[in-house]
Amino acid sequence: MKQTQNQFHGVDGEKESAIKNIPSGSTFLATDTGKLYYESSSGIVASIGGDEPDPRTDQRSIIYSDNLDTTVKGLEIDIEKTDGATGFSTKLYGAHISAESSSNNQVLNLVGSLSEAKHTGGSSAWYVRGSESSALIQGGGTIDAYGSFSEARVTTSVAGNHQRIIGSKVEADVFNINANITNLMGSSIKVELGHGQITEVDVLHLEYHDQNNGNISGDFSYIKIENDTMCPGLVGVARVINSESVLPSKFSGLMQSAGFLDSAITEHTDNAAAVAAGLAIGTHYRTGDDLKKKIKLYSFFMKEGHKCPGDTDDYKNMISEVETDLISLKNN
């Protein structure tokens, strides 16, 4: 490598070793590729020079290494829209990244943007996030905010066989035999209210739109839980839903479960009809949208001149056995 007034040149592979040796502001010309690099306080950055980069490799890379307590940004883009145009025709993108495959041959993966965060050292870190996005409203106006928006859409009329169309897929995997993890969650959703007037809060909102132009040959479910095999090393209790909330639940539709006393909940007009049908004590049945349970209640009464129950005979004489309904509180 030769120096001429803080201008360096050599083969492209020498730039990695030069990062710690050349002063800030110097330039480095790769004589074998024709690329021009400059050294800044944040490392050697490849400039747009020399041959056209091969799209199969990362020619315009950012190389950086330091041991400082500082915030490092490999690439920073700031876009600001000021006054000028009017109407909703204006669109603003901090970065627009697109990947398109027009090949008629099979493609393994097609990814519009690949974001990855790796921790390969032995030190601790507060967190590792593969991607982080925020939608901040710090002004006025009528605006909706989506912290993250993802969409999977089939729009072409060309015939195709698609096994899955998933708007958003989340996975949390552990393949480290030495890892010690407190909580493993597939998805965690949090809503926090600090100030403001809110009309309604839904921590999780499910919505389905049907334009009456398609066909569903199988079942439809808002939520489907597979009957998966549990971990053989499970020490605690396995549940499908573990609700620790004391808030009531409301179901406008019918409810069916094989875990009730009777596997098929039958319809009866009232308790008398349930008794006539031979339903055992503890059996659930329904009247319309009301879920009921046949139980036995005991009412205690005291006749005038009767002594307080002390022996078995007096106790039995003061018991009146009745049968009644336990009606689920439909609107409470």
pLDDT in tens, 116-165: 999 988 888 889 999 999 999 998 888 899 999 999 999 888 888 888 99
On whether residue 171 sits in a domain, the answer given is no
Instruction: Examine the fold and report which residue of 10, 45, 63 is the final residue of a domain before the chain moves on.
Output: 63
Q: Domain limits at 26?
A: 2-63
Chain centre distance of CA 223: 14
Instruction: Examine the fold and report which residue of 63, 94, 114 is the final residue of a domain before the chain moves on.
Output: 63
**Spatial distance between the Cα atoms of 249 and 199, rounded to a whole number of angstroms:** 20
Which residues have C-beta within 8 Å of that of residue 129, sequence separation ≥ 6? 117
Q: Which residue has the higher pLDDT, 94 or 55?
A: 94
Q: How many CA atoms lie within 13 A of 238 on its CB side?
A: 9
On whether residue 23 sits in a domain, the answer given is yes
pLDDT of residue 135: 93
Q: What's the domain count of the chain? A: 2
pLDDT in tens, 199-244: 999 999 999 999 888 899 999 999 999 999 988 889 999 989 999 9
On whether residue 236 sits in a domain, the answer given is no
Give the mean pLDDT of the chain: 77
The answer to whether residues 39 and 25 touch, using CB atoms and an 8 Å cutoff, is yes
User: Residue 13 sits in a domain of what CATH number?
Assistant: 3.40.1620.70
325 pLDDT band (50/70/90 cuts)? Answer: very low
Statement: the pTM of the whole predicted model exceeds 0.95: no
pLDDT in tens, 286-317: 787 677 776 655 445 445 555 554 444 544 44
On whether residue 51 sits in a domain, the answer given is yes
pLDDT in tens, 50-83: 444 454 455 455 555 666 677 777 777 888 877 7
Kindly give the residue spans of alpha helices, DSSP state H, lying in 268-311.
Answer: 271-276
On whether residue 52 sits in a domain, the answer given is yes
On whether residue 292 sits in a domain, the answer given is yes
On whether residue 133 sits in a domain, the answer given is no
* Helices and strands counted in the chain (H then E): 3, 10
The answer to whether residues 33 and 50 touch, using CB atoms and an 8 Å cutoff, is yes
Instruction: Examine the fold and report which residue of 39, 63, 87 is the final residue of a domain before the chain moves on.
Output: 63
